[in-house]
Structure 1
Amino acid sequence: MKSEGAKPTYFSRFVLLALCLFLTVKALEGPVRYALVSADIEWAIYVPTFLLMLVVLLRGLLVMHTWRISRVMLIVTLALLGASGLGMVLIGNPAQVLFGIYVWVPFLFGAALAQEIVPHLRRLYCFFVLLWLVSVAGVFLNYFFDWPWAGFVYKVSGISIEGTRKWSTFGIERLAGFARASFEAAIIIFILSLLLLIYGKNRWTKPAVWLIGGGAIVLTTTKGIMAAYLAVTLLLLVRPWTPAFILRAAPFVVAIVVMAFPLYSWTQDISLILKNEVDCLLLASFEDRLTYTWPAANELVFQHGAGPVGRGVGGIGAAQDRFEKTLYNPADNLFVYLFGIAGYLAVILMLLIAYRVSRFAGGRQGEATFFYLLGMGILIYGLTTNVVESAYMGMFLGIVVRSASYFGTAAVPSRLGVD
């Protein structure tokens, strides 16, 4: 890993430019997408993601030139290639598989370019402050004003695409601010608030940022992120006095819980008793996952896939929504999503993610603290969402998985690109 104070190379600057453009567009995707569609250049919304793809390909060419590849990236690359091949065979629609790969681009960018990004996070502090201010302001303003882009739909090649999502839960509107959906706004604010809390220097503004960010998250009514926010807040308070072995074990405990609920729903009929409106508000969507979404995902894999080995890339989630609507299943759980792609190999992948997060437990420098808390937040949110298809969370998951080799319990290696 490069030294934090080292001057960024030209390639690093290109990586950081692609990163900032992508994060900005995703934070402002509501008005940006609306403006592009109005100007009949809706294709331009995909430019930042294709720029990430270009950077990943350039990294791949550099790796081929030097033949120095990390074990993490080798595993990720081989797994993605194998799952893509499986998708081609089982799904039979190359466009669906390619879209499935497209969904993984932010994760691949984070994993492949972590060594170019992490050393320069502090250099981007002012950028993150501005992005946080805009995102939080968007949600608070949305409480008083309805945006013209809220809920608009458009078509590309005859396919209807949801420009932004306007929805409510039991009459409570889910505010998206400037993001494309309320849950995306919550994810963006959660990650940026944590980043500013850990990397900030002013002891008075840091807790204010965290609390204000939490208030904005509440307005989005994204319960999964609220749970992650509360859990991370608790970890912030107890981490200095918690034994290292407990901190190392915590990611595995969360990963097992994330897997246990859907696995149980595959073997037992479950119905929660919701007695009042508060119960419905808090647990209705979770019950829907237990009783329908997760069991349906299991049926999808075994009836329309290869059972224990999954359906391959594009076989579940967003790619289905575009090309296979009659079988569409959002997964709504990180393990279920990985299971839909790779079958029971998802168990090993979940434990590998937990292991990578646990490696930050013994580190006390800012980066280790940030990535440990973020990794825990991602795993917790993974109970109720597939994580990977969220642009921000998918990218930072990739960074967490790769960066564990450079920060945490192990010493920071002096070599570059091998872990």
Structure 2
Amino acid sequence: MITTLPFIASETSARRQWLAFHVSTLMVWSAISLIVIETFSGALRYYLDLAHLAPLMYVPKVLCAVMFTYELMRVKVSRTFWMCMLALVASSVLAMLHGAALNNVGFSLFMYSPLLFGMACGVHLEHRKRLLAWVIGLCLLASILGVLLDRYSVVPWKGYSYTLGDTELSGNTAWTSGDTDRLAGFARQSTMAAMLMATLALYLSAYTRSWFKLAVLFAATLAAIYMTTNKSTAAALFFTLLLLPILRMPWVCRAMFILVVGIGLALPLVSLGVDFDPHKTTGASVLASFYDRLVNTWPSTVSMLTEQGLDWTLFGAGFGMVGSSVALFPVLGAPLPSVCDNTAVYLWAAFGLAGIVLYLAVLPLAAGLLAKRASPTAVAYLTITFCTVLVSWTTDVLELSVCNLFLGLAVSHVLLRKAMPTHPSLADQRAVDRDHYREPFKAL
């Protein structure tokens, strides 16, 4: 019986290796499925509804939640992480005390599952960068072609809406700015399409060594974003491109991050202290929507929250009381709008002063990515984070799944674990190492 023990131990080890390999593969395909679904979200919703298969739209986020839970059970995480999870539970309880239901909290967890997945499972994607880069390249190409198709033809999913419970939701938003149609391509809305293209292009640019190919990549992306008429994302991508030549000057990059984070916090304060002309919020002016936020959106959101008392100002409304969860599951007497149009205001409304701390956490994240800037992956996440912070001035970027995913991956890259999943064979391990150390988008 003693002689069989080595065989049993070997068989157990092989099973663990097999499980680790296949779980890692499933995690990578969970991320890929999320990116693909978000790329084609507007068109897919339309066609899946026709086939009565609409619940398939939610599979990637469910997979992200399942993989996040599984990873928590198999790896050791820091006490700080568990303290953050405890604070999230406390904020959820606070939201329910303010009138939110379990539906609000559950939907918010579902919506932020890509962020949690990226933070906990991003280490697995480090070994599949080549596959991920090819999928991202194809999705970027599809997004650009979708915008062109939306502009020069009539697509059947444009303006499509559907009903979930008693709430009517937009599968694809038909939106005009003045006389200009805000194109979304295959996505649900123009903001999502623009931010998706900017994020995917920045990821690919980190692995592209040819200046000509970089020029073609960004020219095509900027042109497509311009056609969506999403001015904030176009400007954010343009200024992010100016960051690329100075990545070798870490102090300048740190100063740039401090500046953009500071402006993101200062804009709502400026809207409270300065009287802007309300007539500038209307018309075809390029800054009309920006003035609308300065005059209406940000001051009204701040006043709604402060009128509820000091506890709301310090601790926020709670997790689940701000954003899409309130739009989908309305809370009776909820004082806050579903859209804040500024991520700093969004986080403050949800978590109070702790939300401001979360917004400022971008600075140590950027510092960690700058420390690893020799890695193309770190450069990709650094530029994506910079662009996301710029867009966050006028957008609730945490409502965008792809932004959540890549922010989580950036955090994971900074806190990259030394121990990686064991693979079942030497050949597989060599293939993993080859993908890890070579440039994943070498074909560019």
Same fold (TM over 0.5): yes
Deviation at 1:212, TM superposition (A): 0.7
Output the amino acid matched with 1:344. L
User: CA contact under 8 A between 1:114 and 1:399: conserved in structure 2?
Assistant: yes
- Following the alignment from structure 2 to structure 1, what is the Cα–Cα distance between the partners of residues 281 and 184? 29
Q: What does the per-residue CA deviation read over 1:369-414, in whole Å, with 9 as the maximum and x for residues that have no partner? A: 11211111111111011111101111111222332234xxxxxx63
User: CA contact under 8 A between 2:100 and 2:321: conserved in structure 1?
Assistant: no
- Following the alignment from structure 2 to structure 1, what is the Cα–Cα distance between the partners of residues 217 and 321? 39
Q: What does the per-residue CA deviation read over 1:258-308, in whole Å, with 9 as the maximum and x for residues that have no partner? A: 01111232344433774996xx43211111111121122223323457221
Q: Which residues of 2 match residues 22-41 of structure 1 at below 5 A?
A: 22-41=34-53
User: CA contact under 8 A between 1:357 and 1:404: conserved in structure 2?
Assistant: no
Q: Match for residue 355 of structure 1?
A: 364
Q: Match for residue 260 of structure 2?
A: 254
Q: What does the per-residue CA deviation read over 1:299-342, in whole Å, with 9 as the maximum and x for residues that have no partner? A: 33234572211011111111111123774330111101100111
Q: What does the per-residue CA deviation read over 1:149-183, in whole Å, with 9 as the maximum and x for residues that have no partner? A: 10111112222111110101111111101111111
RMSD value over aligned CA atoms?
2.4
- Following the alignment from structure 1 to structure 2, what is the Cα–Cα distance between the partners of residues 275 and 126? 42
2:159 is equivalent to residue 147 of structure 1 = no
Deviation at 1:43, TM superposition (A): 2.3
- Following the alignment from structure 1 to structure 2, what is the Cα–Cα distance between the partners of residues 276 and 317? 25
Q: Which residues of 2 match residues 61-76 of structure 1 at below 5 A?
A: 61-63=73-75, 68-70=76-78, 73-76=81-84
Q: Match for residue 334 of structure 1?
A: 343
1:282 to 265, 286, 298: 286
Q: Match for residue 124 of structure 2?
A: 116
Number of aligned residues: 397
Output the amino acid matched with 2:106. L
User: CA contact under 8 A between 2:280 and 2:291: conserved in structure 1?
Assistant: no
Secondary structure at the aligned position of 1:204 is classed as helix
Output the amino acid matched with 1:231. F
Deviation at 1:91, TM superposition (A): 2.4
**26 and 32 in structure 1: CA distance in 2 versus 1, 3 angstrom threshold:** same
Deviation at 1:239, TM superposition (A): 3.1
Q: Which residues of 2 match residues 16-415 of structure 1 at below 5 A?
A: 16-63=28-75, 68-70=76-78, 73-240=81-248, 243-271=249-277, 274=280, 280-304=284-308, 306-324=312-330, 327=335, 328-362=337-371, 363-406=373-416, 414-415=418-419
- Following the alignment from structure 1 to structure 2, what is the Cα–Cα distance between the partners of residues 226 and 71? 40
**146 and 12 in structure 1: CA distance in 2 versus 1, 3 angstrom threshold:** same
Deviation at 1:47, TM superposition (A): 1.7
Output the amino acid matched with 1:383. W
TM, length-normalised to structure 1: 0.88
Stretches of structure 1 that go unaligned for 5 or more consecutive residues are 1-6, 407-412
TM, length-normalised to structure 2: 0.83
User: CA contact under 8 A between 1:73 and 1:112: conserved in structure 2?
Assistant: no
Stretches of structure 2 that go unaligned for 5 or more consecutive residues are 1-17, 422-444
**198 and 319 in structure 1: CA distance in 2 versus 1, 3 angstrom threshold:** same
Output the amino acid matched with 1:293. T
Deviation at 1:25, TM superposition (A): 0.9
Which structure has the larger Rg over C-alpha atoms? 2
